Structure 1
Amino acid sequence: MTATVATRNSPSAPGAIERAIYRIHSLRARAERRTASFWGLIPFLVFIVLFLGVPVCGIVLSAFRVADVNEPGNYVPSLANFAASFRGASWDAMQNSLQISVIAALVGGIVGLALAQAILTTRSRKLTAVVTVLTSVLANSGGVPLAFSFIAAVGNAGIITGLLSLTDLGFTLYSSGGLILMYQYFLIPTMVMVVLPTLAGLRVEWKEAAASVGATSWQFWKKIALPITTPAILSGFVLLFGASFATHASAAALIGGGGVPLISLRIDSGLAGGNLAGQENVAMALGVNMIVVALIVLLIYMPLQKRSLKWFK
């Protein structure tokens, strides 16, 4: 009996040998797949290094360069550019950009969330499909055409401005409020695109189970639906904030270099010269500040997005 048990537990038993061979083949196949995936990523990594890594390194190095007063034409490493970016007009532009981005993200997030829920309430697959396509297009709209459209519609001489007498009400498109309004054109579709799959993933069984124990619709949303969807809602807000903060072309076409101080316009003015001639490296420091804000947004967004998906696997 003891010999039989020993034989069964022995590594030389036929079953153990087959399992070992199968495991070796599985590990080898997995290693081959990883190697193939790595070689397939090389063109993408080269692209990232050339068109993202090299420019970022150039921006960072330039941000730490300050002209040497003792030797004209030479530069020395210094934090003076960053110190200048946190005072005066540069700091005002940073604060204004952050404020506008937060307000625009809040408005777009609330309206987008309500719109997404309203679309799902119709229970129309065709409407959901059409909205999915439209949001993916509108979320990537912007630039000069978007600014021109708003100028033609709600500018000082716009069609809607004349019909509703918006000028008499004190509204002007060329202000912080005008920027926030224009940003909604792509922020609301972005929020719908982010939260629509999460809201659609709320299972009917969960609501039925809550109703079976006497829970009202409000209690279902408060106790079940809202805790599940909160990570997706927060990730949508963070994404909207990042999109607002980084917008340049639309804002530049709408308000130009004056009117509303924005960090993106401040960087543009610094690199273009003019009134800010000689401030190119300060503009680079502002660019580094924007990169830091973008990295913070990314670090917040990724875990929230990952957490929002765990309920719908």
Structure 2
Amino acid sequence: MRRKTTAPRPERPSPALGTVPYFAFMGIFLVLPVVANVLQAFKSGGSWSTDSLARVLEPQYVDAFVLTTNLSLVTALAGGALGLVLAWALAGAQHPLWLKNVLLSYSAMASQSGGVPLAFAFIATVGAQGLLTWLLPALLQGFRLDSFAGVALVYLYFQIPLMTVLMLPALSGLRREWHEAATTLGAKPGQYLKDIALPVLAPSLGGALLLLFANSFSAYATAYALAGGGLNLVPLLIGFFIAGNVMIDESFAAALATVMMFVIVIAMGARTLLDRRSRAWLDH
């Protein structure tokens, strides 16, 4: 008798093939632009040189990094504090459910807003000819949206809800049993907050603040629409050196962008470490 021969089964494609579109997308739209920018930063007049990077250390450009850092710190700390309070209220609120859902939806939407539409909304509200400026001239006298305080105010519009969205998962991870156990042992609300809640939330809080810092540090469209050339901010300088009417210098713009990316990478690297520590806390 002949033995039945079975046709060989076709080999299944490797699961790694499913990641090809992702890595192709990341390579084309993230890795290649970064590499091209860094290479451009080491060119000057068509030849390899470090002149553009050395020029970043000139006083006016150092001042730009200092001002951008200060703006990012102010908006990160102020937005982080207010966003944490809002997230804490939403995490503990049960009723009315519709109001909680509205605030959650608004926070998710506002955290991604920005650019020219947001700038125009504030100009129409508290600008030189804005509605509130016309209704309350004494209160807003001397206030300018193209100033440091004005740009910081507009940044808070998306920094506060972003902090809320980032902290809600961490606050939801605080177990009720911890609070009940602390209360049973005689701990007051302030002691529970200081000795239990804040130490657990510290990694998530630090990571969220670093993300807010990076978000503000790299913002361009909103600041450009509000201040134009009125503020010496790094993203605005990069835009002027790329598409300015007079001072076009792509190599120096790439050098500024390279230093800017270095700052953001440090912030995001620290956030990643804190995020891992936060997950380790909440998973136990």
Q: TM-score, normalised by structure 1?
A: 0.82
Q: Indicate the residue corresponding to 1:312 in structure 2.
A: 282
Of 148, 163, 180, the match for 1:176: 148
Q: Indicate the residue corresponding to 2:38 in structure 1.
A: 60
User: In the alignment, residue 70 of structure 2 is paired with which amino acid?
Assistant: Q
Deviation at 1:105, TM superposition (A): 0.5
CA distance in 2, matches of 1:147, 1:274: 23
Partner secondary structure for residue 66 of structure 2: helix
Of 63, 66, 69, the match for 1:95: 66
Relative to structure 1, the CA distance from residue 80 to residue 305 in structure 2 (aligned partners, 3 Å threshold; closer, same or farther) is same
Q: Indicate the residue corresponding to 2:122 in structure 1.
A: 150
Q: After superposition, where does 1:1-313 map in structure 2 within 5 Å?
A: 35-36=14-15, 38-67=16-45, 75-124=46-95, 125-165=97-137, 169-256=141-228, 258-277=229-248, 279-313=249-283
User: In the alignment, residue 175 of structure 1 is paired with which amino acid?
Assistant: S
- Whether the aligned pair in 2 keeps the contact of 1:113 and 1:191 (CA below 8 Å) is yes
CA distance in 2, matches of 1:126, 1:58: 49
Q: Identify unmatched segments of 5+ residues in structure 2.
A: 1-11
CA distance in 2, matches of 1:311, 1:163: 50
CA distance in 2, matches of 1:123, 1:294: 37
User: In the alignment, residue 286 of structure 1 is paired with which amino acid?
Assistant: L
Partner deviation per Cα, 1:228-273 (whole Å, 9 max, x = no partner): 01111111110110110110011111111x2111100100000113
Deviation at 1:121, TM superposition (A): 3.6
Deviation at 1:129, TM superposition (A): 3.3
User: In the alignment, residue 266 of structure 2 is paired with which amino acid?
Assistant: I
Q: Percent identity?
A: 38
Deviation at 1:122, TM superposition (A): 2.8
Q: Indicate the residue corresponding to 1:27 in structure 2.
A: none
- Whether the aligned pair in 2 keeps the contact of 1:96 and 1:261 (CA below 8 Å) is yes
Deviation at 1:126, TM superposition (A): 4.0
Q: Indicate the residue corresponding to 1:19 in structure 2.
A: none
- Whether the aligned pair in 2 keeps the contact of 1:59 and 1:284 (CA below 8 Å) is yes
Give the aligned CA root-mean-square deviation in angstroms: 1.7
User: In the alignment, residue 36 of structure 2 is paired with which amino acid?
Assistant: G
Deviation at 1:311, TM superposition (A): 3.0
Partner deviation per Cα, 1:172-225 (whole Å, 9 max, x = no partner): 111011110000111101000011121122111111101111111111111111
User: In the alignment, residue 279 of structure 2 is paired with which amino acid?
Assistant: L
Q: Identify unmatched segments of 5+ residues in structure 1.
A: 1-31, 68-74
CA distance in 1, matches of 2:245, 2:92: 54
User: In the alignment, residue 244 of structure 2 is paired with which amino acid?
Assistant: G
Higher helix share: 1
